[in-house]
Amino acid sequence: MTRAAFNRADWVSLAEVGEYVTQINGGSRELARLDIQAALVAGCRSLLRWVKDGQEVRESPPPTFWRPPIRLDWGFFPDPSRMWEPGLHGRWELEVQVPRSERKGDVLHAFLRRTDAVRWRLWPASESPQAKQQSKQRPQQPPKKREPASADAQPQPQPQSPNPSIAEVPKLSGKKWVPIAYTRRADTLRPMTITEAARALAEESKTAPDRAKPLSEGYIKNELRKLNVWEPQPRNPLNPPQQRRK
């Protein structure tokens, strides 16, 4: 079975997405990283292209691949032409962190499905294939002739069209929401105990736009255990579990 050809127009590189999301987050690379990782965990399709000795290996990682908090990180690439100038000159690029034992090549190029990136607001809607195709097919209208202005003519209010850039945030199930919410606040939740983190996320779930109903602290705590971030606490030998009365 022959492999389908890689159509670059259907994909946008992770580096380009990182740069765009950083801009819409006011220049914050950390917020951009968390937004992108949250979308990948929630199901935004991705593609990894490994290159080794001129051979290419492609893989489409599942959402669970993106769950580790350190899966994405920023790398700085200095500009060699300005290395003697004072200050820091170069570019930051968002990269995928893969353990050496799991790498399938020497060079890795990461991509996001363009339509998914637009849906998750990680890429402008004007850059989607559908928008480009519609702009090509839309016939150009000839300029309208201006009617002579009348002294009695009053300017008519124009109806306001809804903003197409504002899309409804999809509601996530509890199993999907907990790892995404943790990823968004990993820096503040990780120093806490798992009970404190569950309590904080339970409070957030009451007003989170991507949750339809609030989640209980106990439910969130069970889901946090699945992330393997907190080590299980041993039982206190001074407080053994009480036996049920028969």
3-state secondary structure of 66: helix
Token pair belonging to 211: 């949750």
Mean pLDDT of 186-192: 79
217 and 198 Cβ atoms separated by less than 8 Å:
yes
CA quadruple 82, 86, 92, 97: dihedral sign? positive
Would you say residue 12 has pLDDT above 70?
A: yes
d(CA 246, CA 240): 18
> Please, what is the average pLDDT of the chain?
80
Would you say residue 106 has pLDDT above 50?
A: yes
pLDDT digits over 122-177, tens only? 999 876 555 555 555 555 555 555 555 444 445 455 555 444 444 456 778 888 88
92 and 78 Cβ atoms separated by less than 8 Å:
no
* Amino acid identity, position 153: A
- Close Cβ partners of 123 (under 8 Å, ≥ 6 residues apart): 12, 16, 17, 20, 112, 114, 117
d(CA 31, CA 22): 7
Mean pLDDT of 197-203: 88
Token pair belonging to 4: 């389908």
